[in-house]
Amino acid sequence: MRKEVVLAIIAGISIGLVVAFGSWKLTRAIKRDNVVVSKNEPALPKNSFGLSIIKPENYDVYTFSPKIEGLTSPNVSVVLVSGDNDYYSKSDLNGEFQMKIELEEGLSQTKIIVFDEMGNSSQKLINLVYSTEFSKYISSPVSADTSTEEAEIDNDKSIREKVMEKVNNLNNKPISYVGVITDITEETIQIKADNSSIFQISTADDTSYINGLKKNVSISLTDLAIGDFIVAMGFMNGNKVLNAKRILITSPLSENKVEVLWGKIESLSKTKITINKNNDETQEIVLPKKWNGPDVKDLEEGQEIIVVGLQNEAKFDLRSIFVIE
């Protein structure tokens, strides 16, 4: 009896040691994993907050004016800068926003900036392609602005038919490959993107070629050369090869130098406005003859505004004013 008690005590101690050791190992693993995750997660810049673009995706192709949809903090100011146009809105109580914009023909960049009530900001850049001519290659109403979940599906169709339709809708989404030509054959083109990625493009008899550097003159495949910067529009196959329908020779995107500033009006007159930015620096803005937004007589000291323009040396060339509600 005494022997059984001793064995039971030894077994209990052994189990306890195993559990303790296991807990210690698990704790160390969790701590180690947390350290790895924290090191790999990119830190947000100081005074910034979250901003995600839900759609469109980079280098989507549009034949109509798209909507930019995103997610950020609730009730913050949202400014979109696209070409010569500026747009203003506010996110809703869930932090969601959507804004319809006008795109320039060809490749262009849209800047999305959000500001909270303290003037802290975050921004994203998205490159999009606009081509009214590409509409003739779209055989269904599905486009870059329509998700597969939004596409109508007949309830009487079989599950296989529904799945195949969703796949077809995804394949019918027009996209573009953008970069410098590194190789050309009779049926394929290879390009190198800005991020050094290599993309493959297939061509066919119905592929059209345009030289956007010479007033959109129609050309042929043989007019393309290694080193040309192109925008290839088409539909991607299962091997991530773009079946090109329209190829445009153009120029690379230049740096978007448009600045968007948040501030409180410190002083104003008929000829200039001085705003105090969130870093306590001041910005003097000489008023041009025309700009987008309220007249200076409708502004007052202490108001929070967002201004859009170009910074040329010491001068800020104003093009838009938005009053924060």
Q: Is pLDDT above 70 for 236?
A: yes
Gap between the Cα atoms of 199 and 179, Å rounded: 9
C-alpha 65: how far from chain center: 16
Specify the pTM: 0.75
Query: How confident is residue 161, by pLDDT bands cut at 50, 70 and 90?
Result: low
> What's the confidence (pLDDT) of residue 255?
83
Q: Please report whether residue 73 resides in a domain.
A: yes
Residue 226 belongs to a domain with what CATH number? Answer: 2.40.50.320
Pick from 12-16, 74-78, 115-119, 317-321: least confident: 12-16
Residues 173-214 pLDDT 10s: 899 999 999 999 989 999 999 999 999 999 999 999 999 999
Q: How is 226-271 classified by DSSP, letter by letter?
A: TT-EEEEEEEE-TTS-EEEEEEEE-PPPPP--EEEEEEEEEEE-SS
197 and 243 housed in the same domain: yes
Structure token pair of residue 126? 């998205």
Residues 108-148 pLDDT 10s: 999 999 999 999 999 999 999 999 999 998 865 444 554 43
Query: Strand 208-211 and strand 242-249: pairing?
Result: parallel
Task: Using the structure block, give the residue that is written with the tokens 């968007």.
Answer: 260
Give the contacts of 93 (CB within 8 A, at least 6 positions apart): 74, 75
**Region for 293 from its dihedrals, namely left if φ exceeds 0, alpha if ψ lies in -120 to 50, beta otherwise:** left
Cα–Cα nearest to 241, from 185, 166, 318 = 185
Q: Please report whether residue 110 resides in a domain.
A: yes
Q: Please report whether residue 155 resides in a domain.
A: no
243 and 279 housed in the same domain: no
Gap between the Cα atoms of 308 and 245, Å rounded: 37
Domain that holds residue 184: 174-249
Q: Please report whether residue 162 resides in a domain.
A: no
Query: How confident is residue 156, by pLDDT bands cut at 50, 70 and 90?
Result: low
Q: Please report whether residue 146 resides in a domain.
A: no
Among candidate residues 249, 274, 291, the one where a domain is terminated: 249
Among candidate residues 249, 278, 308, the one where a domain is terminated: 249
72 and 20 housed in the same domain: no
> What's the confidence (pLDDT) of residue 312?
85
Give the contacts of 254 (CB within 8 A, at least 6 positions apart): none
Q: Is pLDDT above 80 for 105?
A: yes
> What's the confidence (pLDDT) of residue 306?
97
63 and 117 housed in the same domain: yes
Residue 299 belongs to a domain with what CATH number? Answer: 2.40.50.140
User: What letter does residue 47 receive in the DSSP assignment?
Assistant: T
Among candidate residues 130, 164, 194, the one where a domain is terminated: 130
Gap between the Cα atoms of 171 and 238, Å rounded: 9
C-alpha 77: how far from chain center: 17
Q: Please report whether residue 287 resides in a domain.
A: yes
Mean pLDDT of 233-261: 93
Q: How is 187-215 classified by DSSP, letter by letter?
A: SEEEEE-TTS-EEEEE--TT-EEEEGGGT
273 and 293 housed in the same domain: yes
Q: Is pLDDT larger for residue 202 or for residue 26?
A: 202
Q: Please report whether residue 137 resides in a domain.
A: no
94 and 66 housed in the same domain: yes
230 and 279 housed in the same domain: no
Please count the structural domains in the chain: 4
Q: Please report whether residue 153 resides in a domain.
A: no
Residue 14's CB is within 10 A of a number of other CB atoms, namely 10
> What's the confidence (pLDDT) of residue 147?
42
